Structure 1
Amino acid sequence: MTTATDHPRHRIVIVGGGAGGLELATRLGNTLGRRAQADITLIERKRTHVWKPKLHEIAAGSMDMSAHEVGYLAQSHWHHFRYRVGEMVGLDRERREVLVAPHVDDEGQQVTPQRAFGYDTLVMAVGSQSNDFGTPGVREYAMRLESSVDALRFHSRMVNACIRAHAQTTPLRPEQLQVVIIGAGATGVELAAELHRTTREVVAFGLDRVDADKDIRVTVVEAAPRVLPALPPRLSQATEDLLAKLGVEVRTNAKVSEVLWDGVRLADGQFLPAELVVWAAGVKAPDFLKDIAGLETNRVNQLVVRPTLQTSRDENIFAIGDCAACAWPQAGEAILVPPRAQAAHQQATHLMRQIRRQLARKPLVDYRYRDFGSLVSLGEFSTVGNMMGGLIGGNLMIEGLFARLMYLSLYKMHELALHGFPKVALDTLARLIVRRTEPHVKLH
C-alpha cells in the first residue's frame, strides 16, 4: 500500500461536494491539479450539485433544477480533479485513510465496493442537516429540504395534492391542501413566499375546481418571538407583514410538541391540520462526525477547528462550511461563524491559499470571517436583508430591487467560482430565453 512518504504527489482529499467543497476542489484543480503539483480527490455520495440556498425554489417549483445542477463527473474532468462517488463512514488517522461505504443504486445494485482513500491533507466539507431536537413524529411524517431529492419530493407531493383535490368529488378533508412549515428562518420564510405564487400558478393550469385563495393555506410556525430572528427586528416585522398580505399565517412563540400524519400538535395543545409538513428548524453536522477518530466535536457534531481551519487535534485535517465550529471573535466575545453560504465561499477561498502555503512549507495564516450581512428572498414580492453585517454593526438595512440584485449576486459568485465568466454569461442568457417559452412553474 502506498504511504504518505512514498507517494509522488501530495494527496488532497475533500469530503463533501457542497458549496465550499466543490469550489475548493475546482480551484485546487485549476491550479495544483492542472500543473500536476498535487492529486485532488472529491468524495461525494450524490452525482450532481445544486446550490443549497436554491432548494426552496426547487421545492416550490419556481426553478428548473436541470438548468442549474452541476454534474460532479463532468466538473472534475474539466477542472483537473477526481470525483469518487460514495459516502464517508470512517476515518483512520494513523494510516491517513478515509473509509467510504459501498455505493448502491436505486435498484439495490452495488455500483462501487467499500473503498479506502489515502490522504496527506484531508478537508471535511460535509455540510449540515436538519436538527429535529428529538421531536416525536418528525422523522416519520415531516419532509426536510436538505438535498435536491428532498426538494423534488416535496414538489411532487404538492402538485399531486392539487391534482387529487381537483379530481375528487367529495369535500376536502381538514388537512387537504394545508402546508405547515416549522421554522421561520430563511428557508421557512422563503419557501412560504414562493409557495404562495407557485401553488396558484399550478392551479391556473386547468385545475379549476381548486380555489387557491380559499382551499390552499400555508402556515409558518416559529418557537422564537419573531420570524427571521437572526435579522434586525424591523426587517422581521416587514417580512411578517408581507407574509400576512400574501395570506400566510405566522405563529410565533409556538413550540411543536409532535408531528402526526395529518398535522402538527403544538406545546399548548393546539392542532394544525396539514397534508404537507416541512421541518426547517435548526441545523447540525451529520451524526457520523460525532467524535470521529478522536477528533474534537461540539454538541451539534461540528468539528472544532483552530483559526487556521485545521482541526484542533490533527493538523493534517481541515474543516470548512457548516460542519466546522470556527470561532468568530466579535464585540469582545467568541461566537461561531454562522452556517451560511458566504462563510463556505470565504473558507474555500482561504483554504486554497492555505494548502498552497502548506505545500510551499510556509506558515499558515488565520482565517477571518467577513460578515456581509444576510439576505432573504421572498420570491417575486420582495427581498430583505442587512448588508455588511458585523463590518458596520449590521445597521444598513435594504429591501426591494437592490436587495434582490444583491441576493442574485451571491449565486452568481458561486457560479463564477465553479465555471468562470464565459460559461456563466452564456448559461444566464440561455435561461432567460428558455424562461420566455415555458411555464414559470414546474408542473410535474
Structure 2
Amino acid sequence: KRQVFRHWSILLSITSFALALLGTFLVRSGVLTSVHAFASDATRGVFILIFLFLVIGVALTLYAWRAPKLQENEQSFAIFSRESLLLVNNVLLVVSCVTVMVGTLFPLFTEAFGLGQFSVGPPYFESVLAPLWLLLLVLVPIGIFARWKYDNLARMRKDLIIPLVPAAVLGMTMPMFWDGFSLWIGLGFTAAWWVAFSSVYLVIDRMRRNKQALWSLPLHFLGMNLGHLGLAVFVVGALAAKNYAEEYNRVIYPRQTLHVEGYDVSFMHLEGKVGANFDSLIGHFDVAVDGKRIARLRPEKRQYFSGGEPTTETSINRGFLRDLYMSLGEMQGVDFETSPWSVRLYYKPLMNWVWAGFIMMALAAYISFRGVRRQKFNKVSKTKGVTDVA
C-alpha cells in the first residue's frame, strides 16, 4: 500500500518458502528424527533437495531479472513511525527464525563434522525466543496507533494507556488461577491482552470518530485488527498450555473411579473392535465434575495386521477453557475383565485458543487481501471514469 520494503518483502517470501522446503527435506529424508518422519526414505529426500535448489534458483533468477523494474517509494520516514516499527517487527521475526534454524541445524553439523553429539532442547529456545517475543508483543500496540512517516509517543499516550490498564489487571491475575503468581508469565499475558484490547479499542474509536458501522469499515483495516487479535489469542493460549499443562499417570481397575485434580475418572469397560486392517481395544472412561458427567473418553490400542508395535489412539475432549487428553497404556495382568490398565491423562488449559488464533490470523490475511484488491479496483475504476469523461 505504501510502496515501501518491496524488495525486502519479496526476498522474505522466497526465503520463507525455501525454509519450508528445507524443513520438509530434513524430516522426510530421515536426516532429522521427528514424529513427522513416518514416511521418510532417501529417494524422497533427494527429490525434495533437488526441488529445493530448483525453487530457490528460479525464484532468485526471476527476482534479479525483475528487481530493476520494482519502484520503491523514495519518501523518507522518521525513526519513530509506522514504517520503522514494521521494519523492527520484521527484524525480530527474522531473528526468531534464525534462532530456530540454528538450534535445529547445529546438532546436525557438529555430528557431520565429527565435533561430537549435541542436543538442543526447550531451554535454549525458551531462553532466546521468550525475550524476543515479549518485545515484539510490546511493540505491536505502539505500531497499531502509530502514524505513517512520523509520530511520537506523547501523541498516542492516551490511546496506549486505556487498553493497557485492563490488560495489566487481567494479565497479572491469570497466573493465579492455575499455579500461583509468576511475573514473567504475567508479563506475557499482559502484553498479549494489550494487543487484543488495543485492536478492539482502535476499531471502536474509528467507528465513533467516523460515525461508521462495523461492517462499513475498510476490509484491510478490519483484517489488520483481526490479525492482531488472533495473535493475542494465540499467545494467551500458548502461554497457558505450555506453563500450566498437567500430566497424570495412573493405574486403574475396571469400574474403578480415580480423583484427579477435581475430575472423577471412571473406567467403565473395554470394547473390542475389528477394523479394516487392525484389531483394537477401546477403553470407555467417564469424566465427571461434582457427580455430573462432562465427557466420555475412548482411548484406543491398535494392532495392525501388517505387524509392528501396537499403536495408541489418544482420545480428546475439547472445551473452551481446557482440553482433556487420555491415552491407554499397558494391561497390568492377563484377564481383560479384571486386570488394571495404566492410563495417561493430560490437562491443557486454553489449548483451543492456539488453534483459534491461527484461524483468526488466516482469516485476517484473506480479508486484508480482499480489501487491498477492492481498493485497487475502485482506484482503477475512478481513474478510468475520469479518463473517459476527459
Return the TM-score normalized by structure 1. Answer: 0.19
Whose helix fraction is larger, Structure 1's or Structure 2's?
A: 2
- Normalising by structure 2, we get a TM-score of 0.21
Q: Which has the higher strand share?
A: 1
